[in-house]
Structure 1
Amino acid sequence: MTAVFGGVVDTLEVQLGGRRLRIVTERRGPQGAPLWLLLPALSTVSSRSEWQPLVMAVQDRVQLVSFDWPGFGDSDRPALAYDVALLGGCLEAVLTDLTSRQAGPLTLVAAGHSAAVALALAGTWSDRWSRFVAVAPTWRGPLPTMTGWSPGRFGWLRRLVALPLIGPALYRLNTSRAMLRLMLRRHVWLDPGLLTPDRLRQQQRLARRRGSRFASSAFVSGGLDAADERGWWLEQARCLQCPFHVVLATAAPPRSTREMELLAQTADAVTHLPGRLGLHQEFGALLGQRLLEALAS
Structure 2
Amino acid sequence: MAASAGIGSAVVWHWRGRDVVVGTTRLGSGPRALLLPALSSISTRAEMAPLAARLEGRFTALTVDWPGFGAAPKPPVAWSPEALGDFLRFALDAVAPEPALVVAAGHAAGYLLAEAAARPVPGRRLVLLAPTWRGPLPTMLKRRPAWLGRLARAADVPGLGAALYRLNVNPAMVRAMARAHVYSDPAWLTPERAAGKRGVTGAKGARHAAVRFVTGQLDPFADRAGFIAAAEALREPALVIYGADAPPKSRAEMEALSAVPGIATRVLPRGKLSLHEEFPDAVAAAILEGTAEPA
> TM-score interval w.r.t. the shorter chain?
over 0.9
The offset of 1:98, in angstroms, is 4.4
Q: What displacement does 1:151 show? A: 6.5
RMSD: 1.8
Aligned-partner Cα distance in 2 for 1:93–1:75: 19
Question: 1:225 corresponds to which letter in structure 2?
Answer: D
Question: Distance in 2 between the 1:155 and 1:82 partners?
Answer: 12
Letter in 2 for 1:227: F
Counterpart of 1:66 in structure 2 is 63
1:1-297 matches, cutoff 5 A = 5-30=4-29, 33-74=30-71, 77-98=74-95, 100=97, 105-128=99-122, 130-150=124-144, 152-266=146-260, 267-273=262-268, 274-297=270-293
Helix, strand or coil at the partner of 2:281: helix
Contact 1:248 1:261 in 2 (8 A): no
Counterparts of 2:175 and 2:185, CA distance in 1:
12
Structure 1 residues 85 and 128: alpha-carbon distance in aligned structure 2, compared to 1, 3 A threshold: farther
- The 3 A distance-change label for structure 1 pair 180 and 113 is same
Identity within the alignment, %? 39
Distance 1:269 1:228, change over 3 A: same
Count of aligned residue pairs for this structure pair? 289
Go from structure 1 to structure 2 and tell me whether the alpha carbon gap of 1:62 and 1:105 turns closer, same or farther (over 3 Å shift): closer
Structure 2: give runs of 5+ residues left out of the alignment.
none
C-alpha distance in 2, partners of 1:129/1:161? 42
Segments of structure 1 that go 5 or more residues without pairing to the other structure are none
**CA 1:37 to 1:270, structure 2 compared with 1: closer, same or farther past 3 Å?**
same
Is the partner of 1:126 in helix, strand or coil?
coil
The 3 A distance-change label for structure 1 pair 6 and 51 is same
**Cα–Cα, structure 1 residues 129 and 78, in superposed 2: closer, same or farther, change >3 Å?**
farther
How far does the alpha carbon of each residue in 1:155-213 deviate from its partner, in whole angstroms, 9 at most, with x for none? 11112222111211221232111110100000000001122222211111111111101
- Going from structure 1 to structure 2, the CA distance change for 1:129 and 1:143 (only over 3 Å counts) comes to farther
AA in 1 matched with 2:114: A
